[in-house]
Structure 1
Amino acid sequence: MESNNISNSQKGFFRGWLVVFAGLILMISVYGIVNNCASLFIKPVTEDLGFSRSEFSLYYTVIALSTMVIALFMGKLAKKFKLKNIILVGCVLAGIGYIGYSYASSIYVFYLMSIFSGLGLGMTTLTPLSIIISNWFVEKRGLALGLTFMGSGVGGMIFNPIANYIILNYSWRQSYLVLGIIILVTTIPVVLIFMSEKPSDKGLLPYGYSNSSENVLDNSVKGIMLGDAIKTKIFWIMVVGLILITIIAMGVQMHIASYLTDIGYSPTFAASVISINMGVVILGKILLGYVFDKVGCEKGVIFVGLQVFLGVLALLFASKYPAIIVFIICWGIGNCMGTIVPALITSEIFGKRDYSTIVGVVNAVVLLGAALGSAVTGKLYDMSGGYTLAWMTYLVLTVIMVGLILISLVLGKKKKLKEV
């Protein structure tokens, strides 16, 4: 790469912010719908079709497993195909999956459509966007990731009341259909117009690099390869901690609406809580990006882990309105952990040399937690006849999760893996 062919990326408006905007829309429409609206459908679908909650909750397990499989190969796919084209295919698959739910009467059709939804989710959001944003930003990477991933909260805030309104006034089938169409019409045009994989495609440097080809080269080779990373105990300590993040996140998120209606709140109130909570997520993503940029990963993990703990603790007292407020605020911030932390921690520990491959594998393995979370909560509910056992379990797992991630960061800094 010749320096005279690369313009200074920080003169005037930086085009990377348009890429952030495209990623934001993907998170709003795909992640915000597939991930953050799913809990609204558990009760109406199971009551209408006679499935058990644990049986129906497995449909999200299929989504997560499908997302995990595609994330596992995303690093290799990104080297072989243009990420923009991969994302476009993912948008179509996610839309088809949700439209397919609207016609499902068998649990196996739900599982089949969940394969499409899961592949679409994996091809459009966390792993590809982590790679793209890391390509475009060196400085302000935490902020850029926060702005991008806050779309999950925006989508949840927008689409939860819409989905709930359609369920109550029409049917859950109509709600799935409308959401599937929204995915298709909002994402494809934005990706075609604004998405670019890396700044060099536009003759630019990443944000934070000086106009020097030597600087770009030196920074691009820091780190270790996937084969070396997975041989370290640091990698597996980190991965187990990150898996616990998604077990907790999906184990809680998928059952909020059912839990609140079980303890006496109306479906409309439950949907409003989820929607407001998603509003807090919007601010939480920006806040976490800022916190991680300013105080570093270790203190950032402690801060967000505390929010997760307080949010889950508040659920045990959710029959009282003050506890609902605590839940909305703390869980809104803490729930951001699953999207922002894996990307930042992976880069912090292992560097940029083989980042696309490592983060793809990390996200794939971490999604095992997402596959397990909802099903674990459903099983604990069926076993105990309520959600108290699940919430207490997640309090313990939160403490373990924070400890494991901090250990991986400390060991990674000591070994200085990313400087290899």
Structure 2
Amino acid sequence: MFLSPYLGKWLAKKNTRLIHTICVVGLATSYASFALAQNITHFYISAIFMGAFSCGAVALPVSIVITNWFAKKRGLAISIALAGSGFGGAIISPTMADIIQNYGWRTSYLVFAAAMLIICLPMMFLIKKSPETMGLKAYGADEVAETAQKTAVPKFELNMTLGEVKKTMVSSGSIYLACFAFAL
């Protein structure tokens, strides 16, 4: 939760593929490290790294890529993409349960980490960050541009630094509500 604003900024502006690769490898390594844990402290340390890397390996890259590729029906596209996590969970949970029953929980973490690397790493080389890299336009970009010209809605731009946003959120109490919502 705390790294999301920074990772989002880096993923949007920097080399997305490199940062995504580091996060996927870090996430897989974090899962594999659970298999080596000897006490609860190791689990907590692994979980901290897992949380840090999962932000840049899962939700943020998906949202950034879909935002770049869809100007029209963006909400539907993000909904479909994020619904895949539920579908994946429906497949992974029984599979991991079988591995735990037959081979043990340590092996299941190693299998999950290996599957993550085998599935996720090749996918990021197939996905392009934006349609412009292929000489294309985002889905519905022309229609959205025409609609914006017709309606002539004044553009609103908020020029605040991350520090100013934090101060505003802390003073208004919104940060506490946001943290509570993320914790749920």
- The normalised TM-score by structure 2 is 0.79
Aligned partners of 1:101 and 1:176 also within 8 Å: yes
CA–CA separation in structure 1 for the residues paired with 2:81 and 2:101: 31
CA–CA separation in structure 2 for the residues paired with 1:202 and 1:223: 30
- Corresponding residue of 1:322: none
- Corresponding residue of 1:125: 58
CA–CA separation in structure 2 for the residues paired with 1:225 and 1:123: 25
Aligned partners of 2:31 and 2:46 also within 8 Å: yes
* Corresponding position: 1:156 with 2:89: yes
Aligned partners of 2:169 and 2:175 also within 8 Å: no
Q: CA deviation at 1:132?
A: 2.0
Counterparts of 1:158-237 in structure 2, within 5 Å, are 158-192=91-125, 194-210=126-142, 222-225=155-158, 227=160, 230=165, 231=168
Q: CA deviation at 1:185?
A: 0.6
CA–CA separation in structure 1 for the residues paired with 2:2 and 2:174: 21
Q: CA deviation at 1:184?
A: 0.7
CA–CA separation in structure 2 for the residues paired with 1:78 and 1:211: 27
Q: CA deviation at 1:206?
A: 1.4
Aligned partners of 1:70 and 1:122 also within 8 Å: yes
CA–CA separation in structure 2 for the residues paired with 1:148 and 1:154: 10
Q: CA deviation at 1:232?
A: 7.9
Report percent identity of matched pairs.
Answer: 30
Q: CA deviation at 1:116?
A: 2.8
Tell me: CA distance 1:187–1:226, structure 2 relative to 1, closer, same or farther (3 Å).
farther
- Corresponding residue of 1:138: 71
Aligned partners of 2:21 and 2:121 also within 8 Å: yes
Q: Secondary structure at the match of 1:146?
A: helix
Q: CA deviation at 1:79?
A: 4.8
CA–CA separation in structure 2 for the residues paired with 1:222 and 1:176: 49
Unmatched 5+ residue regions in structure 1? 1-67, 248-368, 374-420
Tell me: CA distance 1:223–1:156, structure 2 relative to 1, closer, same or farther (3 Å).
farther
1:98 equivalent among 31, 34, 47:
31
Tell me: CA distance 1:75–1:156, structure 2 relative to 1, closer, same or farther (3 Å).
closer
RMSD over aligned Cα atoms: 3.1
CA–CA separation in structure 2 for the residues paired with 1:178 and 1:226: 46
* Corresponding position: 1:115 with 2:42: no
Aligned partners of 1:95 and 1:180 also within 8 Å: yes
Tell me: CA distance 1:115–1:143, structure 2 relative to 1, closer, same or farther (3 Å).
same
Q: CA deviation at 1:189?
A: 0.6
Q: What letter matches 1:113 in structure 2?
A: S
CA–CA separation in structure 1 for the residues paired with 2:55 and 2:158: 22
CA–CA separation in structure 1 for the residues paired with 2:143 and 2:136: 9
Aligned partners of 1:135 and 1:206 also within 8 Å: yes
Tell me: CA distance 1:105–1:239, structure 2 relative to 1, closer, same or farther (3 Å).
same
Q: CA deviation at 1:75?
A: 3.5
Aligned partners of 1:74 and 1:128 also within 8 Å: no
Count the aligned residue pairs.
175
Q: Which runs of 4+ in 1 moved over 4 A?
A: 235-239
Q: Deviations over 1:199-232 (max 9, x none)?
A: 22221221111189x76x989x944336289348
Aligned partners of 1:101 and 1:109 also within 8 Å: yes
Q: What letter matches 1:75 in structure 2?
A: G
Aligned partners of 1:100 and 1:113 also within 8 Å: yes
CA–CA separation in structure 1 for the residues paired with 2:169 and 2:108: 46
Aligned partners of 2:72 and 2:139 also within 8 Å: yes
CA–CA separation in structure 2 for the residues paired with 1:120 and 1:175: 20
CA–CA separation in structure 2 for the residues paired with 1:87 and 1:114: 19
Tell me: CA distance 1:226–1:111, structure 2 relative to 1, closer, same or farther (3 Å).
farther
CA–CA separation in structure 1 for the residues paired with 2:21 and 2:159: 27
- Corresponding residue of 1:87: 20
Aligned partners of 1:98 and 1:176 also within 8 Å: yes
Q: CA deviation at 1:139?
A: 1.0
Unmatched 5+ residue regions in structure 2? none
Q: Secondary structure at the match of 2:37?
A: coil
Aligned partners of 1:82 and 1:197 also within 8 Å: no
Q: CA deviation at 1:236?
A: 6.5
Q: Secondary structure at the match of 1:210?
A: helix
CA–CA separation in structure 2 for the residues paired with 1:166 and 1:142: 36
- The normalised TM-score by structure 1 is 0.37
Q: Secondary structure at the match of 2:2?
A: helix
